[in-house]
Amino acid sequence: MAALGGAVAAWPLGARAQPAGAPLVGFLNSASAATYRFNADAFREGLAQAGFVEGRNVRIEERWANGDYRALPTLAAELVAKGVIVIAATGDVVSARAAKEASANVPVVFTIGGDPVRFGLVQSYNRPGGNVTGIHFAPGLLGAKRVQLLHNLAPGVARIALLMNPDNANAAAELADIQAGAEKLGRQTIVANARNATEIDAAFTEFARGRPEAVIAATDPVLLDRREQIVALAERQALPVVSFTRPFAVAGGLMTYGPNIAWMYRQAGSYVGQILKGARPADLPVMQATHIELVLNLQAARRRGIAVPRTFLASVDEVID
C-alpha cells in the first residue's frame, strides 16, 4: 500500500481475505499501527460483541496517520472514496474533524478527549444531530489531579517537566489545569512541546538543562504512541513519568491516572455495530468515560527510590509489579 502524506494504510494480515459483499467499515487513527494496535483490537472486540466479526460479516479498512495530524483529512477522504458505511474516527479531535469534514453523509463514531460540543462535532450530548456521535472524556479536568497524586507519592518533587503536544486541541486547557495544580502545591513547572519523535528528543534535552525531578506527559495519542521513547529518555535522567492511561505504566512509567482508553474503543466498536444494524448517529447519545483508573508501576517506583505508602496503594486500581 502506498504512503499518503507520510501516513501509511495498514491492516492485520488476517484481514486481507475479506468477505465479498459484507459492509465496509473505516478505522481512522492519528497514531501508528505498530504501537497502537491494542486499541484497534479493542475496537474489533466491541464490534464483535455487537455481532460483526471481521472476515465473516464485516470488512475493515484501516488508515493510520503515524503521528502526522496533517495527513488525517487525506486519509479520511480516501476511506469515503473506498465506500465505507461508517468511520470510526479515533485518536482524538483532529481525527474526528477530518472524518466529519470528509463527508456529510457517512456516519462517524469518534473517541476523543474534550468537549465534542465545543469542538463543533455534535449539537448536544443527548441529541448529537447530523452524522456524528461517539465517546469522550474530559482531559482538562485531570491534570491537576495527576500533580496531586505525584505529590502524594513523591512529596520531595519540587520541579515538574510537562511534555505537551501543541497540535492537540486540548493542550492549552490541560496545560492550564496542570500548572494551576502545581502552583497550588508550590511546585514549579518546565514546559516543552513535542509533535513527533525528533521533538521529543529535543524536549528531553531541554529538560536536562532545567533539571526537573519528574515528567508529566500530556493526554495525547501521539505521545501515547511514543510512550516507550518517552520512558526511556526519562530513565536516562532518572525521572519518574506520570501520564494519562495504562499503557504508559506498562511501558515503565511510574503511574497513570485517566480513562481506560481500550474501554472507549470497545464502545466505539459497539456504536459502529448499532449503526450497521440501522441506528442513526443523531439518535445515539455521546457517551462519557466516567471510570477514571489509577495504575501504579511498583518496579518504576523502586527504581526511583520511591516508597509507596499503604494508604496510597489502597487507592490504586491496578498495580504492575
DSSP three-state, residue 249: helix
- pLDDT one-digit tens code per residue, 164-187: 999 999 999 999 999 999 999 999
pLDDT given at position 9: 35
Q: What is the pLDDT of residue 35?
A: 85
Which secondary-structure segment (H or E) carries 215? Answer: strand 214-217
Domain 3-138+260-291: assigned CATH number: 3.40.50.2300
pLDDT tens digits along 278-309: 999 999 999 999 889 999 999 999 999 999 99
Is the CB of residue 175 less than 8 Å from the CB of residue 162?
yes
Instruction: Return the SS3 of 27.
Output: strand
pLDDT score recorded for residue 254: 98
C-alpha cell at 192: 516543552
Confidence band for 18, pLDDT divided at 50, 70 and 90: low
What's residue 54's pLDDT?
A: 96
What are the pLDDT digits (tens) for 103-162?
999 999 999 998 999 999 999 999 999 999 999 998 767 999 999 999 999 999 999 999
pLDDT at 286: 98
Which grid coordinates are listed for 246? 495504562
Q: Let me know: does 268 contact 115? Beta carbons within 8 Å.
A: no
Over the stretch 227-286, which tens digit does the pLDDT of each residue have? 999 999 999 999 999 999 999 999 999 999 999 999 999 999 999 999 999 999 999 999
Q: To the nearest whole percent, how much of the chain has pLDDT over 70? A: 93
Per-residue confidence (pLDDT) for residue 192, from 0 to 100: 98
The residues of the chain that CATH labels 3.40.50.2300 are: 3-138+260-291, 140-258+293-320
The DSSP line for 165-182 is -TTSTTHHHHHHHHHHHH
Average pLDDT for residues 9-20, to the nearest whole number? Answer: 45
Torsion of CA 199, 247, 53, 284, to 10 degrees: -80
* Cα dihedral sign, 126-132-134-138: negative
Higher-pLDDT residue of 20 and 195 is 195
Structural domain 140-258+293-320, CATH architecture: 3-Layer(aba) Sandwich (3.40)
Task: Determine the pLDDT at residue 133.
Answer: 98
How many Å apart are CA 190 and CA 187, to the nearest integer? 10
- Of 91, 63, 237, 104, the closest CA to residue 161 belongs to 237
* Per-residue b or e along 75-104, where b marks 16 or more CB atoms closer than 10 Å to that residue's CB: bbbbbeeeebbbbbbbbbbbbbbbbbebbe
> Cα separation of 315 and 295, whole Å?
10
74-94 pLDDT, tens digit each: 999 999 999 999 999 998 899
Scored b (16 or more CB within 10 A) or e, 176-210 reads ebbbebbeeeebebbbbbbbbeebbeebbebbeee
Q: Is the pLDDT at 10 greater than 80, yes or no?
A: no
